[in-house]
Amino acid sequence: MKRRRGRRGVWWWSWLLVLVTIGAVVGGFLYGKKRWEDAPKDFQSVATLSFHVRDPFVLPGKAALVSMSRMADPNEAGVLRETESDAALAPIVTEFDLTKKWELGTADALSELRTSLELELDREKNELYVSVIRHDPEEAAELANAVAKAIIPRIKELDEKRKVEGLAKQELELQPFQDEESESRASLKKVLTSKNIKIELTPGVDLGSYLFDEEILPAKLEWDSAIENLSSAQSGQSAYTNYWKKSVRPSLITTKAEPAPKFIGPALQPVQVEWSLYGLTAGLVVGSLLMLLCWKLFP
């Protein structure tokens, strides 16, 4: 009889295990839905920019190594890097008063904006995708458009800065040849003046009737050599000068970012299944403990 009653007790209290487990699964399912509804959703908005940056300088007759590459060239990479810099993002933080809106300090607001920003360059189409991911779809669209808008003048600004630096370097390299020409011309002028010869010294000037003079001839030959050296140096820089004379096709926003209708992230069902599994595990553990306890107390 005791064995029969024990078997009946196990059978009876096993229902407790089943009920607790079912309750935990259902509770986990419902709790998963609540967690999903309360969790902040991420919305991604994308603005498309027709992205045109000056190609890297290539010597005539040599092919650009990055021309067929999918990677950004140095000029493009420079613009992308500057786009995410504090100097570029600070005006946007100020414009939208993000320090107050996000309740963050200036440095943290810049970091938060930079973290939310993604730049993807399609070199084959010359398109730059500026995307911002935020919990608020309206905010994401506003920031994406603001960043895309700020890139256009920044391209011009960086290009002009590099142009000034490049031409300044050119002038620096040319300076010794200009000094040589200036000094040799001054020497020739001094010799002519000492002989009461008044002639304006310009490249190609005819001094044929005076070249018999043993002082004028060497000075003239020295000046001619300096002019030739200067001309050769200028000719060597012509390709680089022409490089900066070429205009760059202007960039423009081709597609404005719109508030995303759907969020990105886990769907409802996977979250509910996840918490149902948690409930199943908890139900089995708690139900088993309760079943054993009741079986001992009420055999």
How large is the average pLDDT for residues 97-103? Answer: 93
Q: Which band of pLDDT confidence, cut at 50, 70 and 90, is reported for residue 86?
A: very high
Q: What pLDDT does residue 225 have?
A: 92
Is domain 42-264 in CATH 3.30.1890, yes or no?
Answer: yes
Q: What pLDDT does residue 23 have?
A: 81
Q: Which band of pLDDT confidence, cut at 50, 70 and 90, is reported for residue 298?
A: low
Q: What pLDDT does residue 65 have?
A: 52
Check whether 66 has a pLDDT greater than 70: no
Q: What pLDDT does residue 11 have?
A: 62
CA pair distance 184, 186, nearest whole angstrom:
5
Domain residue spans in the chain?
Answer: 1-40+265-299, 42-264
How large is the average pLDDT for residues 236-257? Answer: 91
Q: Which band of pLDDT confidence, cut at 50, 70 and 90, is reported for residue 233?
A: very high
Evaluate if pTM is beyond 0.95: no
How large is the average pLDDT for residues 37-52? Answer: 88
Check whether 52 has a pLDDT greater than 50: yes
Check whether 263 has a pLDDT greater than 70: yes
Check whether 108 has a pLDDT greater than 90: yes
Look-up of token digits 């948690």: 278
Q: Which amino acid is at 248?
A: V
Is the sign of the CA dihedral 76, 81, 87, 89 positive or negative?
A: positive
Check whether 68 has a pLDDT greater than 60: no
What mean pLDDT value characterizes the chain?
85
- Please check whether residue 104 is in contact with residue 80, taking contact to mean a CB–CB distance below 8 angstroms: no
Q: What pLDDT does residue 32 have?
A: 74
27-31, 116-120, 221-225: least confident range:
27-31
Local structure of residue 42 (DSSP, 8 states):
B
Q: Which band of pLDDT confidence, cut at 50, 70 and 90, is reported for residue 1?
A: very low
How large is the average pLDDT for residues 43-65? Answer: 81
Q: What pLDDT does residue 198 have?
A: 82
Q: Which contacts (CB < 8 Å, 24+ apart) does range 240-249 have?
A: 240/57, 240/166, 240/170, 241/167, 241/170, 243/57, 244/163, 244/166, 244/167, 246/54, 248/52, 248/53, 248/54, 248/155, 248/159, 249/52
Look-up of token digits 């001054």: 186
Q: List pLDDT tens digits, range 166-181.
A: 899 999 999 999 999 9
Q: List pLDDT tens digits, range 142-158.
A: 999 999 999 999 999 99
Residue 136: CA count within 13 A, CB half-sphere: 6
Residues 6+ apart with CB under 8 A from 72: 80, 121, 123
Look-up of token digits 């993807």: 120
Q: Which band of pLDDT confidence, cut at 50, 70 and 90, is reported for residue 275?
A: confident
